[in-house]
């Protein structure tokens, strides 16, 4: 794969502009490489992947795609189910696809240390690996409870040379505020401001992350074509949305460009963080400091108290602004799945296909199982990561101790009550 494909020129509308928080004042500075900004806002469709990044991709790409016939039998599917598996690299997830690109661009911009926040640790591990590949220092703030539950995530990041802090860390002024992932991200933002050559690097939701992840869907489309296979539904789990965007949006772009028929894009989220199915389309913060711009997103509110779950990667309060806009315009379907159904889908996938999926990917598989009973031609599902560092979740499933934690109506209403709805400001719509 030599180029990423952007969906932006195929939307037919602009994304609502970000808003500056009222309390932000003073000088402006930035550590974000301009190329990432170009990739976020330009209407260019194809972006050459830098040779250095292609060389890294060759170590684990193309990733496997196969027809999961044993899983089809397990779930009583009426159509073929094809799996695109992104868990086979050292980070264990799709996140390496953008981490490598981001590390490359930060290095080229003169940055020497990148700082980030991570929930489940998949993003932190991916960034640690990418920094090792490109010779950058890496500092990771990981949600403390998640780090305690999955100590080997920390081990892997340290093995790759990263410095790992459990959040709240005591190293920044942030002690509490927002949910735990928003706090870890907030700590990373503050820490990055405090040192020369440091830059904060965000994981999933930005347009450029989703662009880099387009390798998943572009490869999958080629692999399906080589198999002579057709699908009418593309499924992925949504935390902020990068693996879903990666697998699904190239199919949307193909259709809009007149190259293929339309497919149903099905986003599967956790019923504990149901932003796309029960959230509001509003301007909200992306981190707990509240110092960054407010983005138009489907959100359950950055102050919503998200309960602990086995799918820390889905525990973000908002969906990426690109996916949110597409949801708003009717291009994306969404369902929420409880963690018991998700882990059970993961278990059934493990026993049938002999691959242990991450709990996050279990949500996608549960969504795919539902879609496989509705689809006419076939389902493509992205299994974004492996679950070999999440085995305690499967232990709890087998012991009957997994509880579903659907978001409470009152708490959702309270956390979104003060948000400014996007409907009032669709200045970007053509």
By CB under 8 A, name the binding residues for another protein: 17-18, 20-21, 24-35, 37-38, 40-42, 105, 108-111, 196-197, 199, 292-293
Find out whether 337 and 269 touch, Cβ atoms under 8 Å. yes
Tell me whether the omega of the peptide bond preceding residue 168 falls within 30 degrees of 0, making it cis. Answer: yes
Tell me how far, at minimum, the Cβ of 139 lies from another protein, in Å: 17
Cβ closest to another protein, residue 86 vs residue 295: 295
Cβ closest to another protein, residue 19 vs residue 350: 19
Tell me how far, at minimum, the Cβ of 338 lies from another protein, in Å: 35
Tell me how far, at minimum, the Cβ of 246 lies from another protein, in Å: 22
Cβ closest to another protein, residue 31 vs residue 144: 31
Cβ closest to another protein, residue 24 vs residue 413: 24
> How far is the C-alpha of 29 from the C-alpha of 42, rounded, in Å?
21
Question: CB neighbours of 322 closer than 8 A, spacing ≥ 6?
Answer: 7, 8, 15, 207, 210, 241, 245, 249
Cβ closest to another protein, residue 26 vs residue 330: 26
Cβ closest to another protein, residue 38 vs residue 78: 38
Find out whether 129 and 99 touch, Cβ atoms under 8 Å. yes
Residue 5: count of CB within 10 angstroms of its CB: 21
Tell me how far, at minimum, the Cβ of 199 lies from another protein, in Å: 8
Kind and range of the H or E run holding 271: none
Counted residue by residue, the chain has a size of 430
DSSP strands (E only) in 69-189: 81-85, 113-118, 137-143, 163-167
Tell me how far, at minimum, the Cβ of 189 lies from another protein, in Å: 11
Tell me how far, at minimum, the Cβ of 421 lies from another protein, in Å: 18
Tell me how far, at minimum, the Cβ of 111 lies from another protein, in Å: 6
Cβ closest to another protein, residue 109 vs residue 159: 109
Structure tokens at 247: 């697998």
Cβ closest to another protein, residue 18 vs residue 232: 18
Residue 171: count of CB within 10 angstroms of its CB: 14
Cβ closest to another protein, residue 17 vs residue 151: 17
Tell me how far, at minimum, the Cβ of 291 lies from another protein, in Å: 9
Please name every residue paired with 385 in a beta bridge, in sequence order, or none if there are none: 93
Helix (H, G, I), strand (E, B) or coil at 412: helix
Sign of CA dihedral 355, 270, 175, 188: positive
The residue to which tokens 């953008």 are assigned: 98
- 150: nearest Cα among 347, 334, 394, 317: 394
Cβ closest to another protein, residue 325 vs residue 337: 325
Tell me how far, at minimum, the Cβ of 211 lies from another protein, in Å: 14
Tell me how far, at minimum, the Cβ of 41 lies from another protein, in Å: 5
DSSP category for residue 77:
-
Antiparallel, parallel or unpaired: β 3-5 and 46-48: antiparallel
Please name every residue paired with 141 in a beta bridge, in sequence order, or none if there are none: 117, 165
Phi-psi region of 241 (alpha: psi -120 to 50; beta: other; left: phi over 0): left
């Amino acid at each position: 794969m030599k180029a990423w494909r952007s969906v932006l020129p195929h939307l037919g509308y602009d994304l609502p502009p970000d808003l500056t928080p009222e309390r932000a004042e003073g000088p402006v500075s930035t550590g974000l490489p301009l190329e990432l900004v170009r990739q976020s806002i330009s209407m260019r469709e194809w972006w050459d992947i830098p040779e250095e990044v292609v060389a890294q991709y060759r170590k684990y790409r193309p990733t496997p795609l196969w027809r999961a016939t044993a899983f089809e039998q397990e779930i009583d599917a009426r159509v073929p189910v094809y799996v695109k598996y992104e868990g086979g690299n050292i980070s264990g997830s799709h996140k390496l696809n953008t981490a490598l690109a981001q590390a490359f661009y930060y290095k080229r911009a003169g940055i020497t240390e990148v700082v980030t926040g991570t929930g489940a640790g998949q993003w932190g591990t991916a960034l640690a690996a990418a920094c090792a590949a490109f010779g950058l220092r890496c500092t990771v703030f990981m949600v403390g409870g998640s780090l305690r539950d999955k100590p080997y995530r920390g081990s892997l990041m340290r093995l790759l040379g990263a410095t790992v802090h459990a959040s709240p860390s005591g190293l920044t002024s942030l002690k509490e505020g927002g949910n735990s992932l928003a706090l870890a991200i907030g700590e990373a933002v503050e820490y990055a401001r405090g040192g020369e050559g440091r830059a904060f690097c965000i994981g999933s939701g930005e347009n450029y992350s989703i662009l880099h992840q387009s390798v998943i869907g572009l490869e999958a489309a080629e692999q399906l074509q080589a198999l002579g296979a057709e699908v009418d539904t593309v499924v992925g789990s949504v935390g902020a949305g990068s693996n879903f965007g990666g697998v699904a949006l190239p199919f949307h772009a193909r259709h809009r460009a007149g190259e293929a028929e339309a497919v149903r894009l099905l986003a599967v989220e956790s019923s504990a963080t149901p932003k796309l199915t029960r959230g509001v389309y509003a301007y909200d913060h992306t981190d707990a400091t509240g110092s960054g711009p407010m983005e138009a997103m489907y959100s359950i509110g950055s102050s919503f108290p998200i309960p602990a779950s086995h799918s820390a990667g889905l525990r973000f309060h908002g969906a990426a602004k690109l996916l949110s806009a597409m949801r708003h315009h009717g291009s994306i379907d969404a369902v929420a799945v409880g963690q018991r159904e998700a882990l059970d889908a993961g278990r059934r996938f493990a026993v049938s296909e002999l691959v242990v999926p991450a709990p996050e990917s279990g949500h996608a598989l549960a969504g795919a199982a539902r879609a496989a009973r509705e689809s006419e031609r076939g389902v493509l599902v992205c299994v974004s990561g492996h679950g070999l560092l999440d085995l305690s979740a499967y232990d709890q499933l087998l012991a009957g101790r997994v509880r579903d934690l659907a978001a409470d109506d009152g708490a959702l209403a309270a956390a979104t009550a003060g948000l400014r709805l996007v409907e009032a400001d669709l200045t970007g719509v053509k």
